[in-house]
Homo-oligomer: A and B are copies of this chain.
C-alpha cells in the first residue's frame, strides 16, 4: 500500500500563498522616503493586499489567507506541516506559562522523554495501539543504514513513559508521580490537513500522573480539565462545554475521557478543545506499575500488590486555530489582548505636506513617550505590549489596515488635533468602536480597555455558542438543527451502536446541505461531542426514550452531538 494522495503544496503554490505586499506597486504616492532608500526608488508595499475572500463565503480559503497574510503561519513543503511564526509562538508561550504556573501548584514537575518509541513498547497496550496504529510515523533508516528495528515517532507518550514509571515507582510512598512535558508529536493523518486544526506534527503538553487511589486520579482529571477550560476562557476568550466522552469517542486505552468542546459558529461545527483522561489501571497492568498494599489482610498477611491509577492529559496548538476561527473577521486576525504579542499600536496621524519637520518630530516624540509609559519600567508596572508605527512611507490608512490584519486589539492615534484636545483617539479591533482617552489617563485606561476587549470577546462568543446549542427531543428536529449550524443536545441511551447509527442517519439526510460551506464534508454525520457535566432537566428515569427513533433503549443522559472537526 502506498501513501494516499494528499494535496501537495508545490513551490509555486507556496510562493503564491505567501503574502507579498512588498512586491505590489504603490496605490498612492508615498509621502516621503527616508534613510537608505534612494530618492527615485519605487516604494514597495504601499498597497496592502488584504484578505480577498469573505469568512462567510469560503471559510477554508479565508482561514488560509488570514493566517498567512497576517503572518501567523506559513505553508511548508511537507504536507500537513506548517511553520509557526512569532505571533503564534507568542500565544503558545503564554499558554505554556499560565498552565505551568497552575499545574505546579499540584506538584507536577517537568520532564522530557524521547521522541522515539520502540515497537515493543508502543504495542504493549492493545486498545492504545489500535487507536494509533494507522497514524504512526516510522523511522527505518539512520544515514544509509537500515535500522535493525524500526522506531516510532511518538503520537503521544504513554508508552514512552510508563516503563520509567514502573522502574521509578517502587513503593506507595513514591506516589503520586506527576510529570508533564512540552513537546512535539506526530500523527501521520491522511485527512485533509488544516493549519493548527489538523496537522501531522503539532506542539502540545502532555501530563502523565500515577496515583495510589482511583479517587485521587478522578479528582486530578477534573482539576486539569478546569484549567483547560481556563486557558480557553481566560486567555483565548473562547467558551467551552465541559463533559465526558462517550465510550465510542474516549481515548484509546482510557477508562474515561473528559473533554472541553468548542464551537465554530461559521460552520456550526463542534471542535474538541482538550482532553483529560483517567486511564484506570490499563497501562499499569501492561507496564507492570505496581506497589505493595500497605494494608494487611485479616491475619496480618500481605495483600496482593496494587496497580497504580493513571491519568494523562493533553492540550495542543489546535487551540490557537479555534481562537482564530471564532474571533477573526474579514479584516484579518482578532487576537484577545491577553495573548496578543502586540496589544497596542500607536500611530501618528494628521501629518501633511504642510506639517513642519519640527512639528512632525514632536508628534513622533510624543508617540514614543506614550509607548514608553505604557510599557512601564518598574517591576510592578502594568506592562502593556506596545508598538509604534512611524514609518514615513505608509499612509495612516495603510497602517490601520496593516495592524488590523495582524489583529492588534487596540489602536491609538495621535495627531495635531488630538494634541490640541489633550486626548488620544482609540479604535478597538474587535468592534471597531472609536473614542478618546485623555492623555493623563493613558496608563490607567489602556489596561482597563484591554481587559474590556478581552471580556467582550468572550461574552460575544459565549452568547453565540449558547444560542447554537439546541436541546432537541424530537428526532425530526435533529438534522434541520444541524443544518442550521447548531450542535444538539439530545436524550440518549449512550449506546455505542446507537451513536454510530445517529452518525449515519444524520449524514445521509444532510446531503445537498452544507456543500458550499465545506466542499470536503458535504454530508458529514453528527458524532457525539460529549456528555456535558451540566445536564439540562427533562430526562425522566425509566421513562424518557433515546432520541434515535430506531433505538429501543431508555435515555440515560443528554448527549451533545454535532458535526465536527
Contact = CB atoms under 8 A, between A and B. Distances in A.
A7 interface: no
Interface in A21-47: 22-23, 36-38, 40-41, 44-45
Contacts of A85: 111
Nearest to A86: B109
Contact of A110 (B44, B90, B109, B143): B90
A167 interface: yes
A216 to B, nearest CB: 13
Nearest to A113: B83
Interface string A145-162: 111101101000000000
A254 B407 CA distance: 38
A141 B144 contact: no
- Protomer copies: 2
B170 A22 contact: yes
Contacts of A500: none
B139 A111 contact: no
Contacts of A77: 118, 120-121, 163
A397 interface: no
Contact of A81 (B3, B114, B120): B114
A400 interface: no
Interface residues of A, number: 88
Contact of A3 (B3, B142, B190, B200): B142
A379 to B, nearest CB: 6
A142 B136 contact: yes
Contacts of A15: 167
A184 B83 contact: no
A201 interface: yes
Interface string A110-132: 11111111101100000000000
B142 A140 contact: no
A2 to B, nearest CB: 5
A359 interface: no
Contacts of A138: 139-142
Nearest to A199: B114
Contacts of A84: 111-113
Nearest to A87: B109
Contacts of A201: 114-116
A347 B92 CA distance: 39
B294 A118 contact: no
The 9 closest A-B pairs by CB, nearest first: A142-B188, A81-B114, A86-B109, A84-B112, A134-B143, A18-B167, A89-B110, A138-B141, A22-B170
Interface of A: 1-4, 11, 14-15, 18, 20, 22-23, 36-38, 40-41, 44-45, 74, 76-78, 81-86, 88-90, 92-93, 109-118, 120-121, 133-148, 150-151, 153, 163-164, 167-168, 170-174, 179, 183-184, 186, 188, 190, 200-201, 203, 294-296, 300, 379-380
25 contacts: A1-B144, A11-B163, A14-B167, A15-B167, A20-B167, A22-B173, A36-B172, A44-B173, A76-B114, A77-B120, A77-B163, A78-B117, A81-B114, A83-B113, A86-B111, A88-B112, A114-B201, A115-B184, A134-B144, A136-B143, A138-B141, A140-B140, A153-B153, A183-B184, A379-B380
